[in-house]
């Protein structure tokens, strides 16, 4: 599968590196308005291929995306001092309003994987833009809470002293402050996580839950404080999602997509467990929620819908 990555900064280039290491894609094209950066990243990545997989890597422009099956959108501008969140969204919406038609002109069948923040709102904006060109929402997928879910599983696994591969737990809603850790259906080793914790002699106390929730919810802020931005976790998550699409895996992943109806809110992009394959999202599962989780997800969905409603594209 040919993969395009729009935006060759840390997230885009790290996603490309993770794809090379995983053997995802037989050709990766980096596109950036800073053509020197794109060329440098592509060359550096090419030099990693003898140690991994023989991926063809090069910088290019939109025309070079001809035949791409997947295009990752990691472009965007940073927030200026004194600029409101809505102003930032409006500027990024203008950028995507130029990018998406240009990509579709070169590769009309491409699936879009949105990584630019705020990812849920940018996914909703991208869906609106792509709809004008006949593209359905199943092909406009945001990375959403794929990374938050990974953090949740990793922290639960560390507490229990087991492999993260044996933990199944999801983060729903916004990739951001209002996200919902889905504790009520978290499973470890086929058991509800509380039962597994008791049997492993590592009980989950209310204090443990609060600590894990805080570490998941504020992980990005702590990383940004230390090094300015996050890129390794999301790069790996994007590569894994690309692999699901390439192999038509139909694996379950928490990702963002325009959702017709959830917990009383209509027409909002947010993360739920979804099956991802060669055609994009092929099915969405509506999780069983506790009353507290239902209220929290409703709040998250409302926040996202109001944010997206304020952006004109």
Q: What is the DSSP string of 199-265?
A: HTT----HHHHHHHHHHHHTHHHHHHHHHS---HHHHHHHHHHHHHHHTT--EEEEEEEEEEEETTE
Burial of 80 (0-12, 13-18, 19+ CB in 10 A): exposed
Which residues are within 8 A (CB) of 289 and not within 5 positions of it... i.e. 6 or more apart?
Answer: 182, 184, 263, 297
Classified as helix, coil or strand, 291 is helix
Query: Would residue 168 show up in a list of annotated catalytic residues for this protein?
Result: no
- Tokens at 208, concatenated: 């443990």
In 3D space, the residue among 86, 85, 88, 66 whose CA is nearest the CA of residue 76 turns out to be 88
| Integer Cα distance of 45 and 232 in angstroms | 15
Task: Note whether 125 and 258 are within 8 A (CB).
Answer: no
Catalytic residue, chosen from 159, 168, 175, 182, is: 175
In Å, what is the CA distance from 107 to each residue of 15, 22, 91?
20, 24, 25
Omega before residue 118 within 30° of 0, cis: yes
CA distance 282 to 276: 6
Query: What residues are annotated to the active site?
Result: 175
């Amino acid at each position: 599968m040919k993969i395009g990555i729009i935006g060759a900064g840390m997230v885009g280039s790290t996603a490309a590196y993770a794809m090379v290491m995983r053997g995802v894609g037989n050709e990766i094209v980096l596109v950036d308005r800073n053509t020197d950066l794109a060329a440098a990243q592509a060359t550096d990545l090419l030099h990693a291929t003898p140690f991994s997989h023989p991926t063809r890597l090069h910088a290019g422009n939109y025309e070079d995306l001809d035949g791409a099956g997947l295009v990752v959108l990691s472009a965007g501008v940073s927030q200026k001092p004194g600029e409101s969140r809505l102003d930032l969204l409006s500027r990024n919406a203008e950028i995507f309003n130029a990018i998406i038609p240009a990509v579709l002109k070169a590769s009309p069948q491409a699936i879009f994987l949105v990584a630019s923040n705020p990812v849920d709102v940018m996914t909703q904006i991208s869906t609106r833009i792509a709809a004008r060109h006949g593209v359905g929402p199943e092909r406009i997928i945001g990375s959403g809470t794929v990374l938050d879910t990974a953090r949740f599983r990793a922290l639960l696994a560390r507490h229990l002293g087991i492999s993260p591969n044996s933990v199944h737990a999801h983060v729903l809603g916004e990739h951001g402050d209002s996200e919902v850790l889905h504790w009520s259906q978290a499973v470890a080793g086929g058991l509800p996580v509380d039962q597994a914790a008791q049997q492993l002699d590592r009980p989950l106390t209310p204090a443990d839950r609060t600590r894990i929730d805080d570490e998941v919810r504020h992980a990005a802020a702590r990383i940004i404080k230390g090094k300015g931005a996050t890129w390794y976790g999301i790069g790996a998550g994007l590569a894994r999602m690309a692999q699901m699409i390439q192999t038509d895996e139909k694996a379950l992943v928490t990702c963002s997509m325009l959702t017709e109806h959830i917990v009383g809110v209509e027409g909002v992009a947010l993360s739920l467990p979804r099956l991802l394959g060669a055609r994009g999202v092929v099915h969405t599962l509506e999780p069983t929620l506790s009353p507290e989780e239902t209220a929290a997800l409703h709040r998250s969905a409302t926040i996202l819908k109001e944010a997206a409603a304020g952006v004109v594209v």
